Amino acid sequence: MSIQIPSLHVSNSSEVKGKAEVFITSRKDAAHTGTFGVGLSLRFNPALDAYPAGSLAFTISLSDSLKCQVKATTIEQINTYGKHNPTVYVTGRCDVKPQEDGPKAVGCRYWLMIADNARKPSPEATPDVIGFLIYDRNGVRIAYGTGPVKAGDIVVAASGE
């Protein structure tokens, strides 16, 4: 791994909350359900808040990833853009609790993207899309996944940006 200069962590006004589960057929096998779940309540108002705040947790059971529970310990950056299908990007540090044998995950970071495509959920609506990536301090990928929401709903507040 090469040394890098970190980027600035400048967040914009954002609010996102909800709980959802994603199913990815190609990530299901005998030991994994092919699902990941996300539950979150995050906010940042630059006029009132010094830093982004809230809670974020993942439950992961995907092949080619560590089967685990993940809890964010920091929300270092949150950015939202869009009006008709608001999209949010979030990054920070997290703790990983494995549910199977695997490498000890230390110094983990997460990246999360959610596109709120279904402003009013219905059978005809385009499903929301959630993607995430988790690495440890040595650059080892712990878990990743991207797919359409099968159950639940995440609401991303529309942004003027």
- Alpha carbons 147 and 98: distance in angstroms, whole number: 22
Which 3 state secondary structure label does DSSP give 134?
Answer: strand
Q: What is the pLDDT of residue 68?
A: 94
The one-digit pLDDT tens for each residue of the chain (161 residues) are: 577 887 787 999 999 999 999 999 999 999 999 999 999 999 999 999 999 999 999 999 999 999 999 999 999 999 999 999 999 999 999 999 998 676 678 999 999 999 999 877 778 889 999 999 999 999 999 999 999 999 999 999 987 67
| Both tokens assigned to 38 | 């996300």
Q: For tokens 């990941």, name the residue.
A: 36
Which element (helix H / strand E) includes 21? strand 14-23
Domain boundaries of the chain, sorted by first residue: 14-154
